[in-house]
Structure 1
């Protein structure tokens, strides 16, 4: 059996990054985590890095303001996974990924790069609403830089993170289940795809040594978690043994609600629109140059939505 690839996680203390570090270790990969001096006095991040070290990860110092340090870090591994939080795409920090790409290109040894995507596939969002389309446009800039540099890649489309879409029954402005009343988006019969974040990390690490996923987009589509909002709410109602009061928000009212919101809110609400009114996550078939992780890795025991919701009882 070929040795497991050595993995560098950039953004390892982030929301998804910490899970990717643990999944990499759990699957037996020599795992490295970039430790940036910019951490400063953030004691939580420092302690998280130390906990990774205790689990067997190696910390590599490097900074986006020091190109040579990035090149030196990249040279020690086979695979680089960037897990910089998605919020960074709405700031100057898109430059971080472009700088990382330059370091990978110069190092010349990386067998696979996974950029920080993990949400809606940006290649399918060319007609997304403003201002939310900035997220997709900037991710496409990163993809274009990767491919122009001839860097081997895998793009992971992980759809809806459970922490933000399941526990709250996909209600905006809360992370916990509503107790009495719930808002339906349109007829609430549009399919979305929900994933536990630990499962996203597990699937992601599965792809990195798999020749079937080289230079492809991998969609995470666990079949039992492809649900409408109405089905999601129904699962919660079954668990609590009662029906929630439901109101419906039309497409027109939903779009009108964006007016007056600040920029960041408009970006997030725009993404909600594409997911729950247009069905952008599940309204297409996986085609050439794409793979379905559920079919590639049927052995993964992913968390079902009902299991996830039980934690809120």
Structure 2
């Protein structure tokens, strides 16, 4: 029997996508770890296990009881409590005799040192603390990094578990706020393609420190151009100066329906995202890309994704 994979944060946008794609590959049994007693819209055929991330011993018992070999953490790093939950999960994995491998929760931008992005994102310490804990353990691990999910370009019509979010290019309302001149490079991937790469990583015996789940190298300016081409009309575009972004002086974007976010929080997160974009934090190295090991996996390009999503809605 193939070794079991446990996905923590399995009801979140990234976590649910990972559960779906690992199950779709149909090579590894997967269980979904969740704090919730009752899960809305569970993935069919997947066992959901309610856990308490504050109880390391109980977590370890759950992992052993299900003979989990690999733990994938998709808990969103949104605060110290989330970081603590992941560290407890790492300690439980170290304690559980069955667990051999661990993927920590990173998923977005790429960083190596605290100093590299600390001036933008103090939360980088959450990533590095988890990485250091894994380096000090006997667990095999890899840090999955995806760049930017292109899902936001297709909402609300795209198939996606990622929460709706308007940042930079709002295709639905034909508007855009572009940091700088839009030429800064970034790497984009459709979330389900990223999930497929993670499922493929489970087939490898050895893992590098970083696994780059990369789709297409592009820029926000090019994504905007393609969106206008597919929609057949010019968008209302504002180009933002880097110094204005650093000062938080950015125009508001419309709040996507169903996002549940407050306008003031949206502004804060957008400033954070624009700064990371300009710092090329979403542009992934070519060495270490998962696609290099699985050339048969074809990821969607931005143009393909936009065409499939919007051709029936223009």
TM-score (norm 2): 0.81
Cα pair 2:169 2:177 within 8 Å, conserved: no
CA distance in 2, matches of 1:31, 1:119: 23
Q: How does 1:142-157 map to 2 (within 5 A)?
A: 142-157=130-145
CA 1:210–1:119 in 2, change beyond 3 Å: closer, same or farther?
A: same
Query: Which residue in 1 is equivalent to 2:57?
Result: 68
Q: CA deviation at 1:228?
A: 1.3
State whether residues 166 and 305 of structure 1, in contact with CA within 8 Å, keep that contact through their aligned partners in structure 2.
Answer: no
Q: Distance in 2 between matches of 1:82 and 1:113?
A: 8
Of 187, 194, 203, 2:188 maps to 194
Deviation at 1:173, TM superposition (A): 5.5
Instruction: Name structure 2 gaps, 5 residues minimum.
Output: 157-164, 251-262
Structure 1 residues 6 and 186, CA gap change in structure 2 (3 angstroms): same
When the two structures are aligned, how many residues end up with a matched partner? 287
Name the CA distance, whole Å, in 2 between partners of 1:247 and 1:35. 41
Change in CA separation of 1:220 and 1:173 when aligned onto 2, cut-off 3 Å: closer
Q: Secondary structure at the match of 2:151?
A: helix
User: How far does residue 96 in structure 1 lie from its aligned partner after superposition?
Assistant: 0.5
Tell me if 1:295 matches 2:292.
Answer: yes
* Contact 1:9/1:82, CA 8 A, preserved across alignment: yes
- What is aligned with 1:15? 13
The residue correspondences of 1:186-265 to structure 2 (distance < 5 A) are 186-212=180-206, 214-222=207-215, 225-257=216-248, 265=267
1:282 equivalent in structure 2: 283
Question: What CA deviation, in whole Å up to 9, does each residue of 1:4-44 have, x standing for no partner?
Answer: 331111111111111111111111211111243xx25xx5x
Going from structure 1 to structure 2, the CA distance change for 1:283 and 1:82 (only over 3 Å counts) comes to closer
Q: How does 1:40-55 map to 2 (within 5 A)?
A: 40=37, 46-48=39-41, 51-52=42-43, 54-55=44-45
For the residues of structure 2 that align with 1:144 and 1:196, how far apart are their CA atoms?
A: 29
Kindly tell me: are residues 181 and 67 of structure 1, through their superposed partners in 2, closer, same or farther at Cα, counting changes over 3 Å?
Answer: closer
Partner residue in 1 for 2:258: none
Q: Does 1:99 align with 2:99?
A: no
Give unmatched runs, 5+ long, in structure 1. Answer: none
Instruction: Say if 2:170 and 2:176, in contact at 8 Å, map to a contact too.
Output: no
Give the superposition deviation at 1:121. 2.0
C-alpha distance in 2 between matches for 1:185 and 1:123: 24
RMSD: 2.7
Mapped to 1, the partners of 2:105 and 2:294 lie a distance apart of 21
Q: 1:30 to 1:197 in 2, by over 3 A?
A: same
Deviations 1:33-84 (A, max 9, x none): 1243xx25xx5xx233xx43x42x2333432233232111222211111111
Which protein has the bigger helix share? 1
Cα deviation, residue 235, structure 1: 0.7
